[in-house]
Amino acid sequence: MEIKVADALVQCLERENVEVIFGYPGGAILPVYDSLYHSKIKHVLVRHEQGAVHAADGYARVTGKVGVCVATSGPGATNLVTGIANAYMDSIPIVIFTGQVSTSQIGTDSFQEVDITGITMPITKHNYLLKDPMKLPAVIKNAFHIASTGRPGPVLIDVPRDVANMTIPFKYPANVRLRGYRPTYKGHPSKIKEIAALIGKAKRPVIYAGGGIISSNASEELLQFAEAISAPVTNTFMGLAGFPGEHPLSLGMLGLHGTRSANMAISECDLLIGLGARFDDRVVGNINKFAQQATVIHVDIDPAEIGKVVATNVPLVGDVKLVLKSLLPLIEKIDRSQWMERIEELKQQYPLTYCRGEALKPQFVVEQLWNCTRGEAIIVTDVGQHQMWVAQYYRFKYPRTLVSSGGLGCMGFGLPAALGASIAAPGKPVILVTGDGSIQMTMQELGTMMEQGLAVKIIILNNYALGMVRQLQEFYCEGRYMSVNFKFHPDFELLAKAYGIQGYTFRTEEDVIKHLPEALAKPGPAIINCIVPVDENVSPMVMAGQGIHEAIDCG
């Protein structure tokens, strides 16, 4: 029996246990939508295609499953590009379906035609233009496998309209057949022994943990490892929720806006153990001043990342969870009380601080959010100063409770990602911390939120400016503020009312103390507009060209 390719596509998704798709229909993708009409897969209609890919991204980060989104050809497909790049840079597994004009029209500049596979080639792990209908089942099987294995990432499948309407005998393959794609999971035994020996000799080890800890579900192994070798743990922004922030061994985030204690520990350590991290520029600062006293171990599943930025003494390709499991039995208990005393001294010497006064400070809002939730919520952020304040002042307890745009730094990510997170974890509190600039980039997704009945709480740290750009102009442009101050804003409390959402405006610490717990506890969504000073900076900050140990106070 033969069935339409569009029907086969939906059946493939059902075989992959896809429960929800985020999308926006259009002419070229119409056959797929017609087939979805008869499926039990939930479709979430967003208000913009960028919202679809960010929502699929948020869903994937919270569940660990592959997120799925769909859009039509032309502008529908190009509206996905930012979100695809975001998922690619943060190693998030999503599969994207785009409609395409009929095969006879490809290359003729027909209505709503773009070469989306060509456009997205640098920002997808792999992509397909499906011209042969018989290949559809294998392509989808392979796409989900590629997206979710090795270093995760986005895979795009472009489906011409005429191909979607063709018929094929349907059989979903049981196995994946991909020549040349064999990710390395188990670390080489001799390298693991070498690492264990180096750990045994080290007097001042530091663990540098990245997003790979989250991707490989290695948080428990990381905790056991850190306690076994008595080494402090500092996280990249992407790795923050991979190690409990209140643990005595936690140093918090390192790098450009990291804690000074973390940055100083990196600079004083004699062994740096990089786990599932890529030594990006916001972590390293001036490469010639980074971890100069340390032997560097780098464990990553992507061999292309090892030694790419920082010279590595002991490289190890493998899945960080399996590597840590192999390492743990080889670890001997060593007394590192002197190093632990030094770490505690650094924490006491370089605490995170800010000046409180009459104005409501954004750091205070984040601290009160922590007091209200104690880590028992999924925290989503947009990009900017508010993102860094969350990283500094919210102490994450569990993996997959931080959803944010790391590598791409994508403003507008927060709201749609929060919707995806909320759908991924029904019944779990989801709180978006955003800025007045970021929220206005995708605030049309408030309509999606209400249509889906999602109870996302939205905290806007509103300084009437593009705060992070303003801060950079203060330090790098001698205070010449160009196009960073907003002269007009919507009344966010009234905007909430327009969507049928509970709205609040906080101007003082008393407002926050008195009403934030109530706003978070009330059923349903809320928009909480916090008016904060325009000149409040994220501190500390590593200036361009400086080592991370040379951070300045810019409060």
CATH code reported for the domain at 189-349 = 3.40.50.1220
- CA-closest candidate to residue 186, choices 216, 206, 222, 231: 216
333 pLDDT higher than 90: no
> Per residue in 106-133, pLDDT tens?
999 999 999 999 999 999 999 999 999 9
What is the pLDDT, as a whole number, of residue 177?
83
For residue 174, what are the CA distances in angstroms to 14, 140, 178?
Answer: 14, 12, 13
Segment 170-192 shows an average pLDDT of 93
Q: 362-544 maps to which CATH number?
A: 3.40.50.970
Q: 2-169 and 189-349 share one CATH topology?
A: yes
What is the arithmetic mean of pLDDT over 81-87? 98
- For 9-58, what is each residue's pLDDT tens digit? 999 999 999 999 999 999 999 999 999 999 999 999 999 999 999 999 99
So what's the pLDDT on residue 3?
96
- From CA 2, how far away is CA 167, in angstroms rounded? 6
| DSSP character at residue 109 | T
Q: Residue ranges per domain, the chain?
A: 2-169, 189-349, 362-544
pLDDT of residue 334: 86
Whether this prediction's pTM lies above 0.85 is answered by yes
Structure tokens that stand for 92 in this block: 């998030």
**What is the pLDDT averaged over residues 297-303?**
97
Query: Does 545 have pLDDT greater than 80?
Result: yes
The CATH class, in words, for 2-169 is alpha beta
- Is the per-residue pLDDT at 555 higher than 80? no
Encode pLDDT of 370-411 as tens digits: 999 999 999 999 999 999 999 999 999 999 999 999 999 999
Strand ranges, E, within 133-213 = 155-160, 167-169, 205-209
What does the alpha-carbon distance between residue 346 and residue 378 come to, in Å, rounded to a whole number? 30
Q: What pLDDT digit, counting tens, does each position of 269-293 carry?
A: 999 999 999 999 999 999 999 999 9
Q: Is the pLDDT of residue 493 over 80?
A: yes
Whole-number mean pLDDT of the chain? Answer: 97
Sheet holding 250-253, edge to edge: 250-253, 233-235, 205-209, 271-275, 295-300, 314-317
CB 427 within 8 A of CB 453: no
Q: What are phi and psi of 417, to 5 degrees?
A: -65, -35
Write the pLDDT tens digit of every residue in 446-472.
Answer: 999 999 999 999 999 999 999 999 999
Q: How far apart are CA 148 and CA 87, in angstroms?
A: 12
User: Residue 77: which of 19, 25, 152 has the closest Cα?
Assistant: 25
Question: Residue 533: what pLDDT?
Answer: 97
Q: DSSP secondary structure string, 319-353?
A: -HHHHHHHHGGGPPP---HHHHHHHHHHHHHS---
pLDDT for 554 equals 84
